[in-house]
Amino acid sequence: MDGRSWWAIGSLAVAVLATSLAVPSLLPAPDLDLAAPEATASPAVEVTPSADEVLGRSPSPSPSPSVTPSPSVSSPPPSSAPPPAPAFQTIRIAATDPANERFRVEATDCPTCASGSRIQYLGVGQALTVHVRGVLVGGRRQMTIYYTCGGGARPLDVIVNNGDKVSLELAGNDSWIDPATVTVPIDLPVGDSEIRFFHATESSVDLDQIVIR
The residue ranking higher by pLDDT, 37 or 112, is 112
> Would residue 62 count as lying in a domain?
no
* Phi-psi sector, 56: left (phi>0), alpha (psi -120 to 50), beta: left
Four-residue CA torsion sign, 200, 202, 206, 212? negative
Pairing of strands 166-170, 106-109: unpaired
Q: Which residues contact 187 (CB under 8 A, 6 or more apart)?
A: 138, 139, 140, 141, 160, 163
DSSP bridge pairs for 194: 131
Mean pLDDT of 33-43: 48
Query: Quick check: 58 pLDDT over 60?
Result: no
The residue ranking higher by pLDDT, 84 or 44, is 84
> Would residue 205 count as lying in a domain?
yes
The residue segments making up the domain with residue 178 are 91-212
Among 177, 190, 194, 203, residue whose Cα is nearest residue 128: 194
Between 40-44, 54-58, 106-110, 193-197, the lowest mean confidence (pLDDT) is in 40-44
Taking only the tens place, the pLDDT of each residue in 79-95 is 678 888 789 999 999 99
> Residues of the chain with pLDDT > 70: what percent?
63
> Would residue 171 count as lying in a domain?
yes
- What does the alpha-carbon distance between residue 195 and residue 122 come to, in Å, rounded to a whole number? 14
Among 129, 123, 104, residue whose Cα is nearest residue 169: 123
> Would residue 81 count as lying in a domain?
no
Number of domains in the chain: 1
User: What is the number of alpha carbons within 13 Å of residue 152 lying toward its C-beta?
Assistant: 2
Four-residue CA torsion sign, 33, 35, 39, 43? positive
DSSP assignment letter at 30:
P
- What does the alpha-carbon distance between residue 213 and residue 90 come to, in Å, rounded to a whole number? 5
> Would residue 176 count as lying in a domain?
yes
> Would residue 67 count as lying in a domain?
no
DSSP assignment letter at 123:
B
> Would residue 139 count as lying in a domain?
yes
> Would residue 118 count as lying in a domain?
yes
Between 64-73, 80-89, 184-193, the lowest mean confidence (pLDDT) is in 64-73
CATH number of residue 168's parent domain? 2.60.120.260
